[in-house]
């Protein structure tokens, strides 16, 4: 069961920590059926069928290069490498998105207890979850599936 967060609930996860230079992007979202045709089965399963990848299985969880992480479905810029940190969880983790408008949130009851799911604000693809146990300056941990991200130096 999923429930969209209220604007007040969403604001809890919005941060002022953003990059000064964000790549240009025009949202050209497609329908779920189109994404199924163009994405690999594993990417589609994670992003549009509420799947997840096993911890420590994706190379981006260990990536230490400087660059930008993009949505694997629509290409929207999402996270900068300066916000990435090693959370020890086995998934790429960030303390803030590039800009508050890059991501959206909904409550997720998949594991009985509610969690806050993070979606790409352009294509609505599932990226991962956000938790309140991250490092300063935001104290958030955006725990993302590497499968849902593409990285460019």
DSSP one-letter code for 95 = S
pLDDT at 99: 87
pLDDT at 140 over 80: yes
Token output for 142: 């955006």
The pLDDT of residue 111: 65
Domain range annotation of the chain:
2-17+29-152
Task: Decide if 76 contacts 102 (C-beta within 8 A).
Answer: yes
Q: Which CATH architecture fits 2-17+29-152?
A: Beta Complex (2.170)
Does the pLDDT value for residue 84 go beyond 80? yes
- Give the pLDDT confidence of 58-75 residue by residue, as tens digits: 999 999 999 999 999 999
Active site residue ranges: 143
């Amino acid at each position: 069961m999923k429930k969209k967060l209220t604007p007040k609930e969403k604001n809890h996860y919005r941060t002022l920590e953003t990059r000064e230079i964000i790549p240009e992007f025009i949202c050209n979202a497609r329908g779920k059926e189109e994404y199924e045709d163009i994405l690999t089965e594993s990417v589609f399963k994670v992003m549009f069928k509420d799947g997840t990848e096993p911890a420590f299985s994706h190379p981006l969880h260990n990536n230490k290069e400087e660059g930008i992480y993009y949505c694997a479905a629509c290409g929207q810029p999402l996270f900068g490498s300066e916000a990435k940190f090693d959370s020890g969880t086995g998934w790429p983790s960030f303390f803030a998105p590039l800009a508050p408008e890059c991501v959206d949130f909904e409550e997720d009851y998949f594991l009985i207890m509610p969690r806050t799911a993070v979606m790409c604000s352009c294509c609505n693809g599932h990226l991962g979850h956000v938790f309140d146990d991250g490092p300063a300056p935001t104290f958030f941990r955006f725990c993302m599936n590497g499968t849902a991200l593409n990285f460019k130096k």
